[in-house]
């Protein structure tokens, strides 16, 4: 029976199966445990980026984070493993199943790339109740929301700069947020120091980790990140660890240690997802904190120190937003000039209030805009832009907000626009969406129309 399950997976006859529940573990800065950063569970304590639509958390809910030991063979994870082995798609995995964020899924990364050699072991190690004797070997522990940026598609849970802004402005669209209360902050900080950091460090010291996903917050601002790299080097485990980063690449050193020259070359390899959503002024508008000139200098520096034959790579992690589309042609040219691949993902549109999404545009405005971008891209197509090209083409097949949420499209649009305008007032950036959208007068007219 187990051999049949393995064969089904290896021959592509079980599209529900994913290696994550056997190998990977995720923790949010507010201590929510998840299968991975792409899964959509119900929040137990506080909402975060990709929650299930059926969020039950309330302000009064107790903060009761679980340890990794309690979580790893919890009833939820056991159930998910059994579902996957039976070929049933867990509801939490909708983002991968429907390729909602990108065409290349996280499921494929873990199952067809990183841990394909462990599939048989995963199946054989699973007991009839769904528990496994395997241990997590890939960690995505977001031990802090500390971040020096506040990108407009992000929020206070993943950025301390957003958090500061929220705290300082009673009128902030995200205020109030219960997890920011001081008693809860103290408990969260204690959990991070006394439980989460200890779990990570113990696994590292025992040589149990072979992949770390450093993402935050901004991991390069965390002392813990630098300490752990040094620890892995000191205890001799670095050569077996692959480091994956999602970073805003605003800094590359800490206490005189250079990440790309001193530390990462001692590891098995690395992959840098350098976050950028648009070049120049528009990029700086979307990603508050970005200094484009400094950023591109850092990109060139990393590129010069990278050795792809040693499994050292970097790509542009581009979140496709509506304002970002106005500088997309330039972004493609820069990627080509630097010979860096763009891996795009669509800004996640939970509902019709996400007006920063390209899908907020009505069809008659979206399609011509995409056609214009595709016409520019097509003669320049290369490995660096092919993923972006595919995503743009795919966008034309996706339902716009107007098509997907016909009943509350107008109300959602009005609410989402007000949210963006409030952010503009708070941040006081010289650029505004009105100014960006003016390059396409029909879009400016849509943006400015009163609903």
As given in the structure block, the two tokens for residue 341 are 């691949």
Cβ distance to ligand SF4 smaller for residue 276 or 349: 349
Cβ distance to ligand SF4 smaller for residue 105 or 166: 105
Q: Does 146 bind ligand SF4 (CB under 6 A)?
A: no
Interatomic CA distance for residues 120 and 126, integer angstroms: 10
Choose one: 92-100, 219-227, 298-306, 397-405; the region binding ligand SF4 (CB under 6 A): 92-100
Q: Which of residues 107-136 bind ligand SF4 (CB under 6 A)?
A: 107, 110
Interatomic CA distance for residues 116 and 10, integer angstroms: 9
Burial of 269-303, coded b for 16+ CB within 10 Å and e otherwise, reads bbbbbbbbbbbbebbbbbbbebebeebbebbeebe
For residue 155, give the nearest of 129, 139, 175, 135 by alpha carbon.
Answer: 175
Choose one: 104-112, 229-237, 249-257, 315-323; the region binding ligand SF4 (CB under 6 A): 104-112
The only residue of 22, 45, 106, 213 in contact with ligand SF4, by rule CB under 6 A: 106
Burial of 114-150, coded b for 16+ CB within 10 Å and e otherwise, reads bbeebbbbbbebbeeebbbebebbbbbbbbbbbbbbb
The only residue of 9, 35, 241, 423 in contact with ligand SF4, by rule CB under 6 A: 35
Q: Provide DSSP, 180-191.
A: GSHHHHHHHHHH
The only residue of 9, 38, 334, 356 in contact with ligand SF4, by rule CB under 6 A: 38
Cβ distance to ligand SF4 smaller for residue 87 or 280: 87
The only residue of 82, 95, 203, 325 in contact with ligand SF4, by rule CB under 6 A: 95
For residue 249, give the nearest of 270, 269, 227 by alpha carbon.
Answer: 270
Interface mask toward ligand SF4 for 375-414; x: CB under 6 A: ----------------------------------------
Residue with tokens 């979580």: 71
- We find the least distance from the C-beta atom of residue 116 to ligand SF4, in angstroms, to be 14
Choose one: 89-97, 264-272, 419-427, 436-444; the region binding ligand SF4 (CB under 6 A): 89-97
Omega before residue 144 within 30° of 0, cis: no
Q: Which of residues 285-304 bind ligand SF4 (CB under 6 A)?
A: none
- We find the least distance from the C-beta atom of residue 96 to ligand SF4, in angstroms, to be 3
Backbone conformation region of residue 271, classed left if phi is above 0, alpha if psi is from -120 to 50, else beta: beta
Q: Does 203 bind ligand SF4 (CB under 6 A)?
A: no
Q: Does 249 bind ligand SF4 (CB under 6 A)?
A: no
Do residues 241 and 212 lie in contact, with contact meaning Cβ atoms separated by under 8 Å? yes
Q: Does 18 bind ligand SF4 (CB under 6 A)?
A: yes
- We find the least distance from the C-beta atom of residue 157 to ligand SF4, in angstroms, to be 19
Q: Does 322 bind ligand SF4 (CB under 6 A)?
A: no
Alpha helix segments (H runs only) across 149-290? 160-168, 182-191, 197-205, 223-234, 280-286
Interatomic CA distance for residues 173 and 117, integer angstroms: 47
Q: Does 20 bind ligand SF4 (CB under 6 A)?
A: yes
Q: Does 39 bind ligand SF4 (CB under 6 A)?
A: yes
Q: Which residues bind to ligand SF4, rule: CB under 6 A? A: 18, 20, 35-36, 38-39, 93, 95-96, 106-107, 110
């Amino acid at each position: 029976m187990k051999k049949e399950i393995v064969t089904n997976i290896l021959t592509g006859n079980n599209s529900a199966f994913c290696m994550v529940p056997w190998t990977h573990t995720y923790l949010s800065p507010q201590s929510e445990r998840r299968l991975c950063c792409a899964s959509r569970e119900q929040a137990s304590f506080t909402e975060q980026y990709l929650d299930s639509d059926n969020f039950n958390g309330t302000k009064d809910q107790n903060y009761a984070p679980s340890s990794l030991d309690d979580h790893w063979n919890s009833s939820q994870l056991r159930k998910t493993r059994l579902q996957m082995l039976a070929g049933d798609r867990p509801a939490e995995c909708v983002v991968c199943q429907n390729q909602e964020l990108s065409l290349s899924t996280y499921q494929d990364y873990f199952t067809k790339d990183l841990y394909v050699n462990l599939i048989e072991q995963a199946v054989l190690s699973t007991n009839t109740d769904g528990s496994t004797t395997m241990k997590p070997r890939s960690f995505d522990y977001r031990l802090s929301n500390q971040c020096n940026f506040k990108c407009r598609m992000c929020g206070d849970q993943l950025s301390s700069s957003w958090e500061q802004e929220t705290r300082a402005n009673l009128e902030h669209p995200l205020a109030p947020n219960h997890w920011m209360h001081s008693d809860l902050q103290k408990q969260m900080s204690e959990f991070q120091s006394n439980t989460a950091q200890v779990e990570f460090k113990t696994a590292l010291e025992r040589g149990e980790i072979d992949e770390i996903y450093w993402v935050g917050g901004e991991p390069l601002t965390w002392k813990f990140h630098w300490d752990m790299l040094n620890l892995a080097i000191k205890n001799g485990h670095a050569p077996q660890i692959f480091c994956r980063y999602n970073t805003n690449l605003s800094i590359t050193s800490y206490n005189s240690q250079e990440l790309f020259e001193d530390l990462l070359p001692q590891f098995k390899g690395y992959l840098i997802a350098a976050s950028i959503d648009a070049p120049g002024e528009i990029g700086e508008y979307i990603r508050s904190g970005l200094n484009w000139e400094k950023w591109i200098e850092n990109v060139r520096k990393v590129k010069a120190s990278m050795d792809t034959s040693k499994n050292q790579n970097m790509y542009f992690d581009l979140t496709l937003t509506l304002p970002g589309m106005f500088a997309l042609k330039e972004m493609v040219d820069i990627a080509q000039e630097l010979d860096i691949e763009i891996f795009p993902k669509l800004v996640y549109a939970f509902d019709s209030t996400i007006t920063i999404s390209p899908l907020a545009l009505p069809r008659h405005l979206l399609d011509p805009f995409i056609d214009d971008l595709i016409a520019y891209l097509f003669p320049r197509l290369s490995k660096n832009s092919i993923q972006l090209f595919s995503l743009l083409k795919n966008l034309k097949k996706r339902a716009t907000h107007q098509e997907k949420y016909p009943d509350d499209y107008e109300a959602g649009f009005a609410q989402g626009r007000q949210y963006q305008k409030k952010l503009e007032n708070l941040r006081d950036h010289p650029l505004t969406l009105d100014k960006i959208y003016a390059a396409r007068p029909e879009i400016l007219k849509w943006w400015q129309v009163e609903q």
